Amino acid sequence: MTTPQSGLGITVAVVAKECLPGKVKTRLTPALSPEGAARVAAASLADTLTTVRALPAARRLLFFDGAVLPDDAEGFDVLHQPTGGLDERLGVLFDTVDGPTLLVGMDTPQFTAGDVAPVFDEPGRDAWFGPAEDGGFWSLYLRDPDGEHLRGVPMSQDDTGAVQLARLLSAGLDVGILGDLLDVDTVPDAERVAAVAPGSRFAAALRAETEGALR
């Protein structure tokens, strides 16, 4: 692997929402309280921002839904999400950012720099697609951002990733495939991810909440 330089001009954007009880990780309840689920979500976001901060990006962007920014947002430019479906909001992101852009979500706290290394090794490729185990996708890179590649893709479905990948391929893009990662949606998902990254803040937060729930 070569040592990439920030001169590649890649923006890394993290899609995130404010971690409020009852608004995030609702499928972790009732095993966790709404407050506990929010704390686990905040830890997941913190781990994600830490990893992104270590990437050789020219710009780091937080594409944020909420009013109060996370404590770890230092060093990130902030773009507030508009209203509308997720496909429309992501379309706005890819229409707004100039130059090569890598999108990652906040629900894969186990992701590492190595998971996106191909993007920085081959930034001239049209696109890189990171499939998620649940049928969605955890990352997407576009060398030439265009929101039309995302608008109309049905989000949060079992076939979201397949439809999104097909959309990119039908546009004639040369698409590289990154490794599968597991999104944290349910408690079993969270336990699997914590086992992969036992030293993460996410794993520590999950242990604290599950131990508390057993008392």
pLDDT score at 158: 93
Q: How far apart are CA 59 and CA 61, in angstroms?
A: 6
Does the pLDDT of residue 7 top 60, yes or no? no
Q: pLDDT-derived band of residue 211, with 50, 70 and 90 as boundaries?
A: confident
pLDDT tens per residue, range 27-62: 999 999 999 999 999 999 999 999 999 999 999 999
On whether the CB atoms of residues 213 and 36 are closer than 8 A, the answer is yes
What residues are paired with 127 via a beta bridge? 142, 175
| Whole-angstrom distance, CA of residue 50 vs CA of residue 109 | 10
- Cα maximum dimension of the chain: 56
Q: Look at residue 176 and give its three-state secondary structure.
A: strand
pLDDT digits (tens, 9 = 90+) for 124-177: 999 999 999 999 999 999 999 999 999 999 999 999 999 999 999 999 999 999
Q: Is the dihedral angle over the CA atoms 132, 161, 70, 19 positive or is it negative?
A: negative
Given a contact cutoff of 8 angstroms between Cβ atoms, the answer to whether 40 and 28 are in contact is yes
Q: Are 118 and 179 within 8 A, CB to CB? A: no
Domain positions in the chain are 6-214
Domain spanning 6-214: which superfamily? Spore Coat Polysaccharide Biosynthesis Protein SpsA; Chain A (3.90.550.10)
- Residue 183's contacts (CB-CB under 8 Å, 6 or more residues apart) are 105, 107, 108, 132, 133, 134, 136, 138, 189
Which range has the worst mean pLDDT, 2-16, 55-69, 71-85?
2-16
User: Beta strand pairing status for 137-142 and 11-17?
Assistant: unpaired
Q: Which residue type does 147 have? A: G
Rounded average pLDDT over 15-36: 96
pLDDT for res 79:
97
- CA end-to-end distance (rounded Å), the chain: 48
Q: Are 18 and 66 in contact (CB under 8 A)?
A: yes
Cβ(175)–Cβ(127) under 8 Å? Answer: yes
Q: Distance between CA 147 and CA 164 in Å, rounded?
A: 12
